[in-house]
Amino acid sequence: MNPSIRPLDSDLKTIRPRKEAHVPKIVLMPPQTDRSRKYHRTLSDRLPNYDIVLAETDEDALREIVDADAAYGVVPPEALAVAKQLRWIQSAQAGPSAGYYYPELIAHQAVVTNPRGVFNDHIAQHILMYVLALARGLPAYIDAQRAGQWDTDARTTPYLELSEAVALIVGVGGIGHETARLLNAFGTRVLGIDARWEQDTPDVERHEPSELDVVLPMADFVIVATPHTPETEGMWNSARFALMKPTACFINIGRGATTRLQDLDQALDAGQIAGCALDVYETEPLPEGHPLWAKPNVILTPHIAVKDAESVEHRRFDLFVDNANRFAAGEELRNIVDKANWF
C-alpha cells in the first residue's frame, strides 16, 4: 500500500507553503460512496506527496481534521471548530446546498474552491433541448402522441423562430457562456445578466443585475443559470413573471430556491407566460400531485442534467488533483469562492 494513503482504524488565490518540511494532509469528508472510495485509492498515484485520509464516519472526520491542512466535501461547524490548521476546502459541488457557507466558515481563514466549469457543455445541451422543444411546441405533440391522436394543430403556443428570438441568460458563468455560444449558432440574440462577469462573451449583450426588470420584457426565453445565494433566493416570483412576454418561456437549470413554484404555476394559469422547463425545484423531489406535473407546454426533468455524464466526474477529479498540487506548491488555486456570497 502506498504510504501516502492510510486507512482509518475504525477565482485564484495563493496559499503560502510551510517553510519546514511538511507532508500536507487532506481529509475526504463523509458520507462516502463507492465512487469516493475508488477515488481514494486512485489518489495514491496522483498525489504521492500527500497524506490522504478517507473519513467514513462523522467521528472519523472530527478526529482526523484536527491536524488536516485541507478537506474535500462538507466541513460542518463542529469539525471546523476543532480544525487547527485547515487552509483549503474543496467543495464537491459548484452550488452546494443552503447551509454549506455558515458564518464561522465565512470568517475562517480556509479558502474554499469549487468545481464550476466541469459540466458547462452538458448542462448547456440540456438547456438547448428545452429551447428547441418549447420553440416548436413539442410537449403538445407528445401529449397527442400518447393519446394516439394525429393532431396537426396540437400546439397551442406560438411558434418561436430562433433566428428572430431573444434569449435572456441570467447568470453568464461557464454554463451561461456555453449556452450563449450554442444559441448564437441559431442566430438568436442573447442578452446576459451577471453580477460578476468572468467570461469572454463577445456575442452576449451585457447587463448588470440592476437592469434585469428593464430587459426581462424583451426576452422570448428566460434562462436561469444562477447559483443559490442570499440575493438570488426567490428572485423569480409573481412580480417578475408579470414582466415577461405572454409568449415567452421560462427555463431554470440553476438552483430551485431561486424560483417560487406557486408563482410560476399561477403565471402559467394566467397566461402571463407561455411555457416553462425545469430541472431544479424549490422542493425536491417535486411533490406528487403538484399542478406543474399536468400543465401543458411544461417540461420537467428530475435534476438530471448531468446524470450519467461520465466525463463530469473525471473532470471534477482532475480539478481536485490540480488544486491539490497547486496547494502543496504554494501556487494559485482555481475556482476560488466568494464565501460571503456563496459562489
Annotation marks residue 303 as catalytic: yes
Q: Around 274, how many Cα atoms within 13 Å sit in the side-chain half-sphere?
A: 24
- What is residue 302's three-state secondary structure? coil
Given 255, 260, 316, 334, which residue is catalytic?
A: 255
Residue type, 7: P
Q: Of 306, 314, 303, 304, nearest to 35 (Cα)?
A: 314
Alpha-carbon torsion (131, 211, 236, 104), positive or negative: positive
Annotation marks residue 40 as catalytic: no
Q: How far apart are CA 150 and CA 194, in angstroms?
A: 44
Q: In degrees rounded to 5, what are phi and psi of residue 329?
A: -90, 0
Q: Of 83, 50, 140, nearest to 324 (Cα)?
A: 50
Given 46, 290, 303, 315, which residue is catalytic?
A: 303
Q: How far apart are CA 72 and CA 320, in angstroms?
A: 9
- String of b and e for 109-142 (b: at least 16 CB within 10 Å)? ebbbbbbbbbbbbbbbebbbebbebbbebbbbbe
Long-range contacts of 298-301 (CB under 8 A, 24+ apart): 298/139, 298/268, 299/130, 299/133, 299/134, 299/139, 299/275, 301/126, 301/277
Written as nine digits, the cell of 294 is: 399536468
Angle of helix 138-146 relative to helix 120-135, nearest 10 degrees, comes to 70
Q: Of 14, 45, 225, nearest to 113 (Cα)?
A: 14
**Burial of residue 192 (number of CB atoms within 10 Å: 0-12, 13-18, 19+):** buried
Catalogue the active-site residues.
Answer: 255, 303
